[in-house]
Structure 1
Amino acid sequence: MHFFCEQCKKEYPVATHSFQCECGGLFRLYQSAMDAKDVHDKVTLGEMPTPLLPRMMDGRRFYFKMEDRQPTGSFKDRGAKRLIGELAHIGIDKVALDTAGNAGAAVAAYAAAAGIACRVYVPDDVSAERVKQIAAYGADIVRVPNGRAHTMAMAQEELGDAYYASHIYNPLFIDGVKSMAYEIYDQLGGTVPDYIFVPIGNGTMLLGLYQGFEEIGRLPHFVGVQSTKCAPVVDAFHGLPRTPYRHTIAETIRVEDPPRMEAILWALRSSQGDAIAVEDGAILTAAKALGERGIYAELTAAAALAGARAFFAEGMPDNYRVVVPIPGSGLKR
C-alpha cells in the first residue's frame, strides 16, 4: 500500500513523514481500505457501527448519525483506528500530532492500544475536559499559545523521529472516516441521503464522507456549517470578504485557515451543496433541542443542526432524507 499524489501521481511509502508532494499536491491512498483485508484488527477499542436515529424537529424528520457512541466519544475514532492500525502493522513506534481535542483523544487512545508512544500538541485555550481525556491515555501533552495554526506549526517543527499522525492531511485517517458513508448508506436501506449537514473546521468529516459516497457512486448534497464568528469556508464558498475571527463556543470547528480549503470547497461544490454560518445563540438553541430529544451532544453537533434548521427555514419536502452527524459527545463540553 502506498500514498500517491493527487496532482502528479508520484508514489510514496505509507511511512513518509510528510503528506504534501514536492509538486505541492496532497496524497491519497493507492489502495482503498475498503478493498483490502484488514491486517491489523488487533488494534481495536471495540468500535462498532453507530446508530442513525430518526427524530422529528420543527415538523421535519432528521436522521442523527450518533458518532458520540464511538469508543473515545467522537467520529475521529474511525480515522484513528485506520491510521494507528496501519502504523502498528509497519512498525512505527512513536507518533505526534496537533489537535483541538477530539483527534488527540482518538489517536492517543488507539496509540495506547497499539503500544505506540504519543505526543499531542493542543492550543492553550482548549477545554480542560478534552485535555484531561487525552492525558488519561498516557500521551505527552504540549500546550501552545496563539491559536490552532501555531499549534500545527510547532508540532511539525518539533516532530523529530516521530511519525506525524495528522488527521488533516493523512490519507489513512480520511480513509477510516469514509466508513461512516457506507454505514449511512446501509442504514438508509441502500440509498444515499439527499442532504448531509457537516460542521466544518479542518474538514476531516466532510472529506471522509465525500470519499465514501464517491466510491458508492452518488453524492448527497453536502452543506458545510460554521459559526458566524469563525466562517472562512462560508466566506470562500460564497466569495464574501473574510469575516474577522472571534471566539466561538463551537471550539472544535474554530479553525481560522483550514489547510485543505481547496479540497473542502471542491467537495461542497461537486455535490451541488452549500455553506452556511449560524450564530452561537442558534447553536445553543439547537443543543437544547437535541437534549430534549435525548441527545447530549457537543456544541459542534448542535451547530450542524442549527445549520439544517436555518437552511430549511422555509420548509423541507417530506420525502427528503436529511442526515445531521453528531460528531462528539456532550461529555466533552
Structure 2
Amino acid sequence: MTALPDCFCPSDGTRVPAGTLAWCCPVCRGPLDLDFSPNPAPLKSLGGRVNSLWRYAESLPLPAPAFSLGEGRTPLVPLDGAISAKLDFLMPTLSFKDRGAVMLAALALRLAPERVIADSSGNAGTAVAAYCARAGLPCTVYVPEGTSPKKLEQLGAHGARLEVVPGDRERTAVAARSAADEPGVFYASHVHNPYFLQGTKTYVHELWEDLDGRLPDALVIPVGNGTLLLGAALAVRELHAAGLIAKAPALYAVQAAAVAPLADAWRTGADEPPGTTPVSATLAEGIAIARPPRARQILRAVRGSGGGFLTVTEDQIRHAQTDLAGRGLYVETTAAACWAAVRDGALGDRTAVVPLCGAGLKSGLATN
C-alpha cells in the first residue's frame, strides 16, 4: 500500500504525521497542507487511460479507490467569444465537490474511523455523503438552517445523518469542528483537509489535457472557502515546475458583492479579511463565507498569479443564470457568478475558462 505523506501547517510549519485523524494544526488550529511533490505525466502518456480524474495518477497522493463513481473528465464547451465553460455540474452528485470528496472518502476508508463528519451549505456535504455511502462509511453532515430543501433531500437520500445548525455557515463550521475533536472521528473538511485540494486540482489537469498541453490566459473561479481556486493554483504550480506549461494563467476570484471579504482585502492590500465581515443574504450561498480559514493562501495565490478579484451584484447573478439557461446550461446561482463577472467583457479579449460547478436542480431558478 502506498505510504501517505505527512501534513504540515502553512502558517507555522508544524508537522502532522501521516495516518492520524488530526484535522488541523495542533498549534494554531489552522488548515493543513500536504507534503507531496508529484511528477505529472506528460500529455502523450495519457491516451488510453481511465476516463476519470484518476487518469492523472502521478499527480495524486492516493491510488484510485474501488468505489469511484467515474468522477472528473467533464466537458469543456465554448461559451462566448474567448470564454469557455467547464461543465463540472455534470459530476455524479451534480457539483465540482466530487473531485475532493472522493479523495476524502478514500483517505477515510484507509484510516478506518468510527464515523465521518462534514459541514457544508449543501454541495460539499452531499458529495461527502455520496462517496461515504459508496465506500460503506457512516456519515453525519452539519448544515446551516436555510440550506436549500433540494440539497437536504439529496443529502438524506445518500443516507447521511443531518445536523441542522441554527444560524449561518460559520456557526455550522464551529459545531462540526467541536465534534471533530472527539475520538475516532474523521473530519471530512473540504476546507481544512489538504486531500480535498488534491482532488480539486484535477480541474486544471483536465483543462490542460483538453487544450492540448496549454492553459487559457485566465482561470475565473468562484471563491468562498477557495477550495477550487487553491486546487487550481496547486495544479498550475505542479505543471509549470514539471515544464509541462510555459506560462501560468492569471487567477481571477469571483465573490458576491453582498459577501466579499476577500475582494475587500485584495483592494486594500491586506493579507487577510477583517474579522467583522457580515454575512448578508445572497443568491450565491455557496460562496457566502465571512472568514475563510485559508484566506491568506487565497489572496497570495491570486496576487502571485497577476490576477484579481471580481464582484457581482444579485441582479448580475440572476441575469447570468437566466442567460446560461437560455444557452442550454441550467446551473445553480453560485455557479452562475463567474459568468456574471465576465460576460460583459471584464477580461477583454483574453482567453478564459469559467467553471459551471453546480446544477440548477439543486437550488432552482432565481426569479426575485
If the TM-score is normalised by the length of the shorter chain, which range does it land in? over 0.9
Tell me whether 1:185 sits opposite 2:208 in the alignment.
Answer: yes
Q: Which residues of structure 1 form unaligned runs of 5+?
A: none
Structure 1 residues 230 and 113, CA gap change in structure 2 (3 angstroms): same
Structure 1 residues 168 and 26, CA gap change in structure 2 (3 angstroms): closer
Deviation at 1:260, TM superposition (A): 1.2
Find the partner of 1:68 among 50, 72, 89: 89
Aligned residue pair count = 326
Deviation at 1:42, TM superposition (A): 0.4
Tell me whether 1:106 sits opposite 2:143 in the alignment.
Answer: no
Structure 1 residues 332 and 23, CA gap change in structure 2 (3 angstroms): closer
The C-alpha deviation readout for 1:103-123, integer Å capped at 9, x for no partner, is 000000000011100000000
Q: For residue 5 of structure 1, what is the aligned residue in structure 2?
A: 9
> CA–CA distance in 2 between the matches of 1:35 and 1:180?
12
Give the alignment's Cα RMSD to 1 decimal: 2.0
Q: For residue 175 of structure 1, what is the aligned residue in structure 2?
A: 198
> CA–CA distance in 1 between the matches of 2:280 and 2:61?
45
1:152 partner amino acid: A
Structure 1 residues 35 and 55, CA gap change in structure 2 (3 angstroms): closer
Tell me whether 1:300 sits opposite 2:304 in the alignment.
Answer: no
The C-alpha deviation readout for 1:82-119, integer Å capped at 9, x for no partner, is 11112212323421011110000000000001110000
> CA–CA distance in 2 between the matches of 1:212 and 1:21?
27
> CA–CA distance in 1 between the matches of 2:60 and 2:266?
35
Tell me whether 1:49 sits opposite 2:78 in the alignment.
Answer: no
Tell me whether 1:29 sits opposite 2:37 in the alignment.
Answer: no
Deviation at 1:43, TM superposition (A): 2.1
Q: Which residues of structure 2 form unaligned runs of 5+?
A: 39-56, 241-246, 364-368
Tell me whether 1:145 sits opposite 2:166 in the alignment.
Answer: yes
Q: For residue 245 of structure 1, what is the aligned residue in structure 2?
A: 279
Deviates more, 1:121-130 or 1:244-253: 244-253
1:254 partner amino acid: A
Among the aligned pairs, what percent are the same residue?
37
Q: TM-score, normalised by structure 2?
A: 0.84
Q: TM-score, normalised by structure 1?
A: 0.92
Structure number with the higher strand fraction is 1
Structure 1 residues 219 and 169, CA gap change in structure 2 (3 angstroms): farther
Q: Tell me if the contact between 1:81 and 1:110 (Cα under 8 Å) persists in the aligned partners.
A: yes
Tell me whether 1:129 sits opposite 2:133 in the alignment.
Answer: no
> CA–CA distance in 2 between the matches of 1:252 and 1:126?
10
> CA–CA distance in 2 between the matches of 1:149 and 1:25?
15
Q: For residue 316 of structure 1, what is the aligned residue in structure 2?
A: 348
Find the partner of 1:228 among 245, 248, 257: 257
Q: Secondary structure at the match of 1:150?
A: helix
Structure 1 residues 254 and 326, CA gap change in structure 2 (3 angstroms): same
